[in-house]
Chain A
């Protein structure tokens, strides 16, 4: 972790996709060590909110302020350096093995974590040397989780992390999120699943 984040604040966020306003005047704030679950019907703007928080998408109005102990950072570029991303698409290269995919990501993010241990943790060490195109959807999700863990970032943005995972896999995600928050990280999870994790809830109602 570069510098630990202290707080994330969203002020009067609005998002417009095409001609449709997804949400407006969205305000929330999360302290370090807390998780936020984003709920809402399909098309309510959960993924768009995560992409705004990740700095990919500029909000139609409002701002996001990420603060470290020494002060706020608002520049989207700099904000990206704190974000660990777990999106819908896995971003895994089908020709590379699970291990190679993880090694590449670890090197890209300058991570010093042990790749073999991470694969073990994710429960896919037996598939480590298979090209990822032969992995099941659930195994790919587990590999992506290992990659998120390897990123060493403090603000985790997860889009539907439970999809395609078995019962043990879902437990793995919950434990991982709990550990991350216990270590002072922030997690924002868009999901329809019920989680046992102690978290704040934000419901995107869809705009009237």
Chain B
């Protein structure tokens, strides 16, 4: 008897990902018939080619990167804290990003000259979100080296998150209704705002974050046994915790910077994947969760974009609306959820 392998489920998941990617780029406000999809992809001229290469493929790739990044970050946090309720945001990064984005947008609107500069550059919000996320990240890393216990770190993360969220609430309360509009739209999450240049940055950061995660499979598995057993196996837990926090920070921070705070994916995907592929070995879990996260976000993006219409639903509404019932159904069916 050897370790169970999951080739069938793995191939199924990859197949699902490919199908969803193709479906995602063929659906949208302009209908592209499947027969024209390939020629649109291969030629450099024509409306279809423009739509595909300028808009749909960057958007689908963003779904791919953001979905896999958030799902991986969620898995890392659930494993580190051995808590099935943990998600990529438990360290407070998203709230930190939100705070700075809210500040930049409000200052921009109070000062029209600055405001024009802010709204003309697609990088300004991303930059604000990155700085906000990074500040909280540095704070968490320094606390993590001081607080040796994971549960304490989890609570501190949640508290930082609550504190920054309340500052955002105060800002919202004191500002004018139309100042809020841009911020509100940002908080709903979007995968449509990333061009090729942003995509380049996003993919590099996500690649680094994923590489660190996959490089930590041994210590991630060890965390599942708890700190004492892990140390009895001569795994350096202090160093491993540092790298897990770094990877989570990079993955969550980059996605939040370019796509806004996308909810639900990071929390739900690890559970959904474990229900299909019931393993605890991160060597299998990380690739599976990446494929699962990418698939879910591609699906949600398709559903947000009502086919044939220009109307787009907010991404966060769709991820939770689709995801929550699915998770509830699967949890009831399996009656068992664990990290």
Q: Do A and B bind each other?
A: no
